Amino acid sequence: MNELVKLTHLEGIAVITIDNPPVNALSPGVPEGILNSIQAAAHDPAVKAVVVIGAGSTFIAGADIREFQKMTAGEKPRLTLHPTLLAIEDSPKPVVMAIHGQALGGGMEVSMAGHYRVIAASAQVGQPEVKLGIIPGAGGTQRLPRLAGVAKALEMCAFGEPITAQEALALGIVDRIIDGDLEGDLLAGAVAFAREVADRPAPKTRERKEKLGAVDSAIFSASRDTARKTRRGQPAPLAAIDAVEASTKLPFEEGCQLEAKLFNECLYSTQSKSLIHAFFGERAVNKIPDIPKGTTTYEIRRAAVIGAGTMGGGIAMNYANSGIPVILKETTQEALDRGLATIRKNYTNSVQKGRFPQAVMDERMALITPQLNYAGFDQADIIVEAVFEGMALKKQVFGEIDAIAKPACILASNTSTLDIDEIASATKRPKMVIGHHFFSPANVMRLLEVVRGKATSKEVIATSMALGKRLKKVAVLAGNCRGFIGNRMLAPYFREAQFLIEEGASVEDVNQTLYDFGWAMGPLAVSDLAGLDVGWRIRKEYRHLEKPGVRIPRVADRLCELGRFGQKTGRGFSKYDANRMPSPDPETAALIEAVAREAGIQRRRITQEEIVDRCLFALVNEGAKLLGEGIALRAVDIDIVYLNGYGFPPWRGGPMFYADTVGLAKVLARIQEFEARHGSDLWSPAPLLQRLAQDGRTFGDFDRQSANQASA
Ligand code: T1G
């Protein structure tokens, strides 16, 4: 009993309530409070049974992850869950766990130490630790196989997805679903259940063996294969598989010792630090220093999207998926039909994969109103423009919607590079204009880059950030500059990839090296996928901005002049067969040599290390420049952009976090080396990077300092 854990009584039933908002994490004091309460109940003759329940919106969301950051930063560990779990399990009075919201990680482990579990119908349970680069560390890999069977425990611990209350009941993890969502329904149901079992034996999960027998060991190697394929570069899923396998071979205590050893190995790994950085980063990006919590937001009940192309169609699906009716406007029936067909195909795929039933598809399709005019746009609360990436057309469209839309309607552009202020200048309401930059495929990619113009109001920004969460996106705020955060940084990354092939690396070298680094795809492969013509069109629009005498990559332009736009034309940097499988293209190799000869470039052998450093440090240096300019609020915002929009390896934490793990002094030295070789027009070190490196500080320090200044 303490301020985090309360012990009350309901006619012979002791009720232990965990009250550590917002998610009842097992912060220091909570395990101790539970332990004291269990011991008090054990010694209280009036108590027949015990119920453990969480206050607020959830049961227990796991260990306090902040404590892990302190531990890996060198602080003495303060988490002591095992003694509490054994005390629960050895309680002479039956302990009933009452689960609502989520029972995750340590929360799931606490629930499994109980003798019985009841659950609200809408609750979820799971062991998501691998998503943080660790494994269950309090017996989860030993108790879950005993409750759910080895195969399911393996899947849950190795891949971290939660399961529903209904699945948990079917698996025997929980004993009863308590209906009713009213406050108190769960407690009443749990207390009633506790009365029923008060005189029954209290089954200890750790002593259960019935589900451990007759396991086909092939499931472990199959699971390892899946983990190696789908969780490339991540040791935690493999460690979780080892621990669950141990539950079928070792006694409980020894299984827990092996689990603890594997847990610690994972916890102190760079992968785990990176994934925990990303976890808190996704929560930090919501906080905008000059837009306080409680800023008024506009209600979004109806939406409209202009353009039913790849992006427009995906954007409309996001609104329909969140239950918001959306008009989808195109200029020709043919284009509209094509857009709708793509939407229908995407939904049909999801139904066929069992993600949701046909009825849900029908509901969502019914929320999308396709049309060829602006009818109903005057009722929209937000209009998203997703037309061709040209300034003239975008300004024309914004002029049109400005004349139709109601005063409180937000006008958003899905532009990926263009000037938001110039687009807003086509309207009489620049304060209502903002960038909503979705990523292709827009119905899948989690990132939403929200771009504030100089006139954009705080209410419109606050509404956009909240809308991002409602559309199940990770919204990151960016300032207005060419390419905002993501695409601005991508330009020097792609530039270096092209320079490297001009200087001697092969297309395959560059792609494979960045793939091995952990990217979902190499940069030249991404360009071929996105279509070389997209960048070509933008480069042609900005030719006037190119500085005379400054080296620019030539290969992509030459390929485009030959009509080779990548996958869509079967040839680009690589050649593609009918299944879009890439292979080296000797003609591209010859073209690269010709470009190098014309530019007087002496081709040479290029190491993988140079490929990684030139591409990654070009990214980091540009990131440090836009951080210094305030285009990104925090270094972690840049990391979240790259993790959710550009396929940056999650277990590296993002480009800025990666730079911190390398060490900014080393990064700066390497950049200065490249500056000396390739010139300062391409490689002038960012002032912020220079300052931090010289002061022995990190981008993480920069963010902490900004946060302290903001809260001061
Ligand atoms: N520890 C510390 N803080 C946490 C936390 C946790 N486990 N979970 C959430 N928070 C903070 C979060 O940073 C945010 O703070 C606020 O709570 C609300 O969270 C021993 C080793 C439960 C599904 O991986 O998945 O147990 O930004 O915005 O959208 O074996 O939080 O307001 O300052 O996410 O409603 C395993 C992590 C830990 C679950 C709720 N557990 N949490 O989502 O709210 S490892 C997890 C979540 C472990 C054991 C092992 C989600 C949620 P702030 P939120 P939400």
The SS3 of residue 56 is coil
pLDDT of residue 1: 62
Residue entry with tokens 């070509």: 536
Residue nearest to atom 53 of ligand 1 (CA): 283
Residue nearest to atom 33 of ligand 1 (CA): 283
42 neighbors 92 (Cβ within 8 angstroms): yes
Span 531-552, average pLDDT: 84
Q: For residue 127, which atom of ligand 1 is closest to its CA?
A: 36
- Distance between Cα 308 and ligand 1 center (Å): 37
Going by pLDDT thresholds of 50, 70 and 90, the confidence category of residue 575 is very high
- Distance between Cα 62 and ligand 1 center (Å): 7
Question: What is the end-to-end Cα distance of the chain in Å, rounded?
Answer: 34
pLDDT of residue 79: 62
Does residue 70 line the site of ligand 1, with CB under 6 A?
no
- Distance between Cα 358 and ligand 1 center (Å): 33
Residue nearest to atom 43 of ligand 1 (CA): 23
pLDDT tens digits along 423-461? 999 999 999 999 999 999 999 999 999 999 999 999 999
Residue nearest to atom 54 of ligand 1 (CA): 283
- Distance between Cα 24 and ligand 1 center (Å): 9
What's the mean pLDDT when you consider all of the chain? 96
Does residue 136 line the site of ligand 1, with CB under 6 A?
yes
Does residue 104 line the site of ligand 1, with CB under 6 A?
yes
Distance CA 269, CA 246 (A): 22
Does residue 160 line the site of ligand 1, with CB under 6 A?
no
Q: For residue 134, which atom of ligand 1 is closest to its CA?
A: 21
pLDDT of residue 549: 86
Residue nearest to atom 38 of ligand 1 (CA): 62
Does residue 135 line the site of ligand 1, with CB under 6 A?
no
Q: Which of 18, 23, 131 to mutate to test the pocket of ligand 1 (most atoms within 8 A of CB)?
A: 23
Residues annotated as catalytic (active site), given as ranges: 109, 129
Residue 605 has pLDDT above 80, yes or no: yes
Residue 545 has pLDDT above 80, yes or no: no
pLDDT tens digits along 386-419? 999 899 999 999 999 999 999 999 999 999 999 9
pTM exceeding 0.85: yes
Distance CA 371, CA 637 (A): 37
Residue 473 has pLDDT above 80, yes or no: yes
Residue 634 has pLDDT above 80, yes or no: yes
Does residue 103 line the site of ligand 1, with CB under 6 A?
no
275 neighbors 651 (Cβ within 8 angstroms): yes
Q: For residue 109, which atom of ligand 1 is closest to its CA?
A: 30
Q: For residue 405, which amino acid is it?
A: A
Going by pLDDT thresholds of 50, 70 and 90, the confidence category of residue 562 is very high
Tokens of 129: 């630790």
Span 365-394, average pLDDT: 97
pLDDT of residue 690: 98
Q: What is the CA radius of gyration of the chain?
A: 28
If DSSP states are collapsed to H, E and C, what string results for 365-384? HHHEEEECCCCCHHHCCEEE
200 neighbors 94 (Cβ within 8 angstroms): yes
Span 504-522, average pLDDT: 97
Does residue 240 line the site of ligand 1, with CB under 6 A?
no
Going by pLDDT thresholds of 50, 70 and 90, the confidence category of residue 584 is very high
pLDDT of residue 709: 85
Residue 348 has pLDDT above 90, yes or no: yes
pLDDT tens digits along 168-177? 999 999 999 9
Does residue 101 line the site of ligand 1, with CB under 6 A?
no
Residue nearest to atom 42 of ligand 1 (CA): 61
Q: Report how far apart, in Å, the C-alpha atoms of 541 and of each of 390, 417, 482, 534, 535 are.
A: 9, 12, 12, 11, 10
Distance CA 47, CA 345 (A): 59
pLDDT tens digits along 243-268? 999 999 999 999 999 999 999 999 99
pLDDT of residue 180: 79
pLDDT tens digits along 1-56? 688 999 999 999 999 999 999 999 999 999 999 999 999 999 999 999 999 999 99
Pick the closest to residue 417 from 566, 315, 541 (CA basis). 541
Write the DSSP symbol of residue 444.
T
- Distance between Cα 153 and ligand 1 center (Å): 21
pLDDT of residue 458: 98
Residue nearest to atom 35 of ligand 1 (CA): 23
pLDDT of residue 134: 98
Does residue 304 line the site of ligand 1, with CB under 6 A?
no
Q: For residue 279, which atom of ligand 1 is closest to its CA?
A: 13
Span 204-217, average pLDDT: 91
pLDDT of residue 519: 95
Residue entry with tokens 């399709």: 365
91 neighbors 50 (Cβ within 8 angstroms): yes
Strand 382-385 and strand 303-306: the pairing is: parallel
Q: Which of 18, 65, 141 to mutate to test the pocket of ligand 1 (most atoms within 8 A of CB)?
A: 65
- Distance between Cα 260 and ligand 1 center (Å): 21
pLDDT of residue 223: 97
Span 353-377, average pLDDT: 96
pLDDT of residue 201: 85
- Distance between Cα 23 and ligand 1 center (Å): 6
Q: For residue 65, which atom of ligand 1 is closest to its CA?
A: 1
Q: For residue 400, which amino acid is it?
A: E
Q: For residue 263, which atom of ligand 1 is closest to its CA?
A: 21
Residue 635 has pLDDT above 80, yes or no: yes
Does residue 514 line the site of ligand 1, with CB under 6 A?
no
Distance CA 504, CA 603 (A): 5
Does residue 24 line the site of ligand 1, with CB under 6 A?
no
Does residue 140 line the site of ligand 1, with CB under 6 A?
yes
Residue 77 has pLDDT above 80, yes or no: no
